[in-house]
Amino acid sequence: DTEVTQTPKHLVMGMTNKKSLKCEQHMGHRAMYWYKQKAKKPPELMFVYSYEKLSINESVPSRFSPECPNSSLLNLHLHALQPEDSALYLCASGLDLAGGSYEQYFGPGTRLTVT
């Protein structure tokens, strides 16, 4: 099973709302990632979690707050977003970083629109 699930599929939120994106995998992967993808652009890394600890934050604004409550779940909490934050948010997982296998498996993404 190489499935990464993400909910919701689509989300429309106002600039004053608070919402959360959820990601789940049951492949035993210990590295999990959030990427942001704008239209006709490649995915750009936002955060990396390794063994439930944040190991990379790519200078992401504090209105995005990641959380890894356990080894299977990854959340992205959203607050006071701007219209330019509208994008496809992709979650990915992979074997632990020292595992020697570097494939990352992506979920289907959440299409976020900020109004």
Partner 1 sequence: DQQVKQNSPSLSVQEGRISILNCDYTNSMFDYFLWYKKYPAEGPTFLISISSIKDKNEDGRFTVFLNKSAKHLSLHIVPSQPGDSAVYFCAAGVSWNGGSQGNLIFGKGTKLSVKP
Summarize as ranges the residues that interact with partner 1 (CB under 8 A).
Answer: 2, 4, 6, 31, 33, 40-45, 48, 50, 55-56, 58, 90, 92, 94, 97-98, 100, 102-109, 111
Q: Smallest distance, Å, CB 16 to partner 1?
A: 28
Burial of 5-18, coded b for 16+ CB within 10 Å and e otherwise, reads ebeeeebebeeeee
Show the tokens assigned to 42: 């490649």
C-beta of 33 vs 64, nearer to partner 1 = 33
- Alpha-carbon distance of 54 to 73, in angstroms, equals 13
Q: Smallest distance, Å, CB 50 to partner 1?
A: 7
Residue that the structure tokens 């948010």 belong to: 89
C-beta of 78 vs 110, nearer to partner 1 = 110
